[in-house]
Structure 1
Amino acid sequence: MEAPKFSVLIANYNNAHLIGQALDSIKRQTIQDFEVIVVDDGSTDNSRSAVEAEMASFGGRLRYIYQSNGGVASARNAAIMASSGSYLTFLDPDDYWHAERLEAHAAILDQNEAVGLCCSDFDRLHEDGHVEQHFSRWVPFPNFPFEQRISREDSLRWLLAVNFIGTNGVTIRRRCVQAVGLFTESYRQAEDYDYWLRCAVNTEFYVIPRVLHTYRIHQGGLTKNFLENCEYSQRVVLYFAETYEGFIGSHGLGGAVRSAIARRWYEIGNLSFEGGDIRKAFGSYLTGLRSEISFPNVLRFLSVAARKTIRLGTFGSLSRERLARHS
């Protein structure tokens, strides 16, 4: 039996109420040359019956695999190992694709053999119905190389500056997956960021500035914990810098890596400050200063430290005034 063009990989955990919409968005694709693999990561709801109810409509192209709970990276790895398509692509069970999603990605990968990873823009749908376009928020750079092949070095530079990739908007050529390997299961968050960085070492990227899927923002979801996500992202970058030290040095990426590490320490500091952990905040700022010895970074440290010190002083004055007023 001939392998399909696409393997659509879904890692599911307790999304029985939403996975039907995700699967329906796959059925509506303008390209129908695909297999769908749902790996259920130990769900305790009726996910199995929700998926099985859709099997007949897929005509044998939908597979359901159950495993004990091991996390999203483990579930994605199980789906990768069970897949057979030329192109591997991801869809979370609580999100959905637009009808041309597969066709748009196939057009790029079919015509650009050197490109191993293609990604596209998406809408972020909040629980209150508010919608924002991902690239307009996270890639405010006028020179971002949309709609062109991006070299490994430039892909890494942009990824280190901002993780512009949404997992549901990614398609990866099988040979790239074979070179990169599997997702790192020890990461509770940012396992996708780690994977994109590793992909960039191995292949060229292509970014489509067109909204081709919708991503739901859940108030109780993992993505709500910005501090934890930022800390995991920093862990990913630090490990990447150590593991790929030779590649980074030989391709002139040392400055980009150091800048990314310093910038993320400031982000951790800011989030810690807003959460009330002042000691951790200023400790992170100092670590950020030590991470990159450069004039711009010294200015950044002085600016951040001065602003936070002023805020602390203002808060202290207001607190004393309130105490005096009530004494």
Structure 2
Amino acid sequence: MPLISFTDKGLYCAQGNFYIDPWQPVDKAVITHAHSDHARPGSQAYLCHHHTLPLLQLRLGQGHYQAVEWNEKVYFNEVTVSLHPAGHIIGSSQIRVEYKGEVWVVSGDYKTEADGFSGDFEPISCNTFISESTFGLPIYNWKPQQEIYHDIQNWIRTNEVANKTSVLIGYSLGKAQRLLKAVEEVTGSIYVHGAIWNVHETLTQAGWKLPAVQRITPDMPKETFKSSVVIAPPSADGSPWMRRFSPHSTGICSGWMQVRGNQRRRNADAGFALSDHADWNGLLKAVKATGAEKVFITHGFQSAFSRYLNEIGIDAHEVKTEFGTEDEESQLTN
């Protein structure tokens, strides 16, 4: 029996009787991070990193939660479980599962460049590695974060000269916090959508030091936003909610913006390939660093990435899951 099985409820460890990021309610759920495609409501008990705890409570409500530090060992029967930095978003973790000397690692979503928030991705030696491949094609090759920040800042300055509001589109958990760090260097007037405000409040109450923002409310006059910066989730893009910022320029912040056609298709004025996922080289680096004899690819460009791994001598297999289906970043392809 494999240490982790792929079932209709999610990734299941029979020896420890728990699931990792289940997409149906279960008794025991170990959660990699708080994005909605990995953390779903209804389970009896949740185990997560302590930075993820307030975010789970925000998104799933009250429940039975156990929060641990990275590298802290938890025991399910004879199975040892520990959480390790994934670098994807705040609190995001890889799940290390060990039983009788065999080690599997479930990476969840991850990126290998440190962003100053999410913890530095930690390669973990294992027999079997379960990896995403959201951007598992060679075309996806990110510029350094600081370089992208400079591009965003210069774009904002250009909009200010033209008396335009700069509207940045990014996922409310993960992307928005990184954008705040980029934006605070060029303006003190930062306004945010309610969905981003809710996450912002949760994180600041948990002790995170984030730039000051103002929540956008219906009673704010249009003049309030002139030459300012607005951060909004993808769901707001193209909606009537955006009209209050006119004249404005829209910049979409997503790894999908690496392909110029996506920017045109979204009618965006600018596209910034700022992603919370590893690029092609990051994925390869992560997989090789584990030394795993077998790799399972869960979501993204599974066919291309797993085929390449097999070509270079790494035993790789595609697995169908429900990950990636509710992440607002992935919806930018729709």
Q: TM-score range by the shorter chain?
A: under 0.3
Structure with more of its chain in strand, by fraction: 2
TM-score by length of 2: 0.25
